[in-house]
Amino acid sequence: MRLRQLQHLVTLAEQGSFARAAQASHLSQPAFSRSIEALEEALQARLVDRAYGAVHFTQAGEQVLVRARGLLADAQRMRHEVLQLQGLEVGSLRVGLGPFAAGMLGRSALSALVRQHPQVAVRMEMADATTLCERLRRRELDLFVADTRDFAQQSMLSITPLPQVPVAFFVRARHPLARRAEATFDQLLAFPVAGPRLPLETVKLLDRLAGLGDRSLFSVVCDDPAALRHLAVSADAVILAPDAPAFRHETRPLVPLRIARLSAMRTNYGIVTLAGHTPSAAASAYARFVIEAIAQAPGGDMGDG
């Protein structure tokens, strides 16, 4: 069994057919097929079911695919670390960010990383926390920054809590509710209520406080901060968001609402890596810049992220 054969298996999963995978690997299709067959022979297991002309991985194939991605990622990391020990300025980083984490932390941390380490190749992507967690498990990310409440009990993850940031409902400055010292949930529900995808426990808490049955408090669920700001400004929507300058003042100023019976809410962001895996130098540097960025933000204090 060779790393090259494992790479071919991963390429087959990504491309979805032997013909496309062979082309992507710069091999003839017979040569590519022989590589997969040699891997199956070495493992003494059928990895791909070819019965219907399409690529379907067997149960053994799915398991080997997960391990193959991990081994390939470790091999790439090893090559980079050896080159760094030889005095060469190389490195790469694959980082994922939750939507609001991107605006509050990700951009400034990225700028700091690029300024101080311009040789590092960075790939950054935004997604919801569940998607980012799955991509981390598949070794497609080195780390991600997002709300971590749903992952607290997962032993395969290592979570570094970040300083908390207040969370509030916001409206435009001339919104009818903005003139009230305190608004009720009933008054809130007279307008569109929008926010990002939230941890299940938070959704249940807000729905219970609002006295809702099968109906959700949020009429719009959107992970795009710019779209939420636009709803607040153009559609009189009440939006839930972190109370951070990067969010409130990027377009037009928004004002927070005080909601009756609602206790103060705060973010639970964290830096998430795979447990038992030593982060690369680039990942460690980026994590440090994230911590520095949130510590410098007005209103931030140390606690769960």
pLDDT of amino acid 85: 46
Q: Is 42 helix (H, G, I), strand (E, B) or coil?
A: helix
* Distance in angstroms (rounded) separating the CA atoms of residues 122 and 114: 9
Q: Between 129 and 199, whose confidence is greater?
A: 129
User: 262 has which bridge partners?
Assistant: none
Residue 56 dihedral angles phi and psi, to the nearest 5°: -130, 120
Asked if the model's pLDDT at residue 87 lies above 50, the reply is no
DSSP per-residue string spanning 53-110:
SS-EE-HHHHHHHHHHHHHHHHHHHHHHHHHHHTT----EEEEEE-HHHIIIIIHHHH
* Identity of the highest mean pLDDT range in 73-77, 102-106, 203-207, 232-236: 232-236
Which residue is it, tokens 């409440």?
A: 149
CB distance 268 to 305 below 8 Å? yes
The region of weakest confidence among 165-174, 189-198, 255-264, 287-296 is 287-296
DSSP 119: T
Q: What is the pLDDT of residues 12-61, one digit of tens each?
A: 888 888 888 888 888 888 888 899 999 988 989 889 887 666 788 889 98
- Mean pLDDT over all residues of the chain? 83
Asked if the model's pLDDT at residue 162 lies above 80, the reply is yes
Q: Do domains 3-81 and 91-164+268-296 have the same CATH topology?
A: no
pLDDT of amino acid 303: 31
Domains of the chain, residue spans: 3-81, 91-164+268-296, 166-266
Residue 5 dihedral angles phi and psi, to the nearest 5°: -65, -40
CATH 3.40.190.10 fits 91-164+268-296, yes or no: yes
Chain mean position to CA 270? 11
Query: Confidence class of residue 149 from pLDDT cuts 50, 70 and 90?
Result: confident
* Identity of the highest mean pLDDT range in 77-81, 97-101, 155-159: 155-159
pLDDT of amino acid 272: 94
Proportion of the chain above pLDDT 70, given as a percent: 88
Average pLDDT over residues 183-196: 92
What's the CATH fold of domain 3-81? Arc Repressor Mutant, subunit A (1.10.10)
* Distance in angstroms (rounded) separating the CA atoms of residues 212 and 52: 49
The two tokens of residue 199 are 């941890």
The region of weakest confidence among 58-67, 105-114, 268-277 is 105-114
* Distance in angstroms (rounded) separating the CA atoms of residues 220 and 130: 19
User: 257 has which bridge partners?
Assistant: 169
Asked if the model's pLDDT at residue 105 lies above 80, the reply is no
Which residue is it, tokens 């080195």?
A: 142
Burial of 126 (0-12, 13-18, 19+ CB in 10 A): buried
The two tokens of residue 96 are 């994922």
Q: Is 159 helix (H, G, I), strand (E, B) or coil?
A: strand
Which residue is it, tokens 């390429």?
A: 11
The region of weakest confidence among 80-94, 129-143, 205-219 is 80-94
Which is the CATH superfamily of the domain at 166-266?
Answer: Periplasmic binding protein-like II (3.40.190.10)
Alpha carbon separation from 283 to 120, 124, 160, 273, 289 (Å, rounded): 10, 12, 13, 9, 10
CB distance 159 to 226 below 8 Å? no
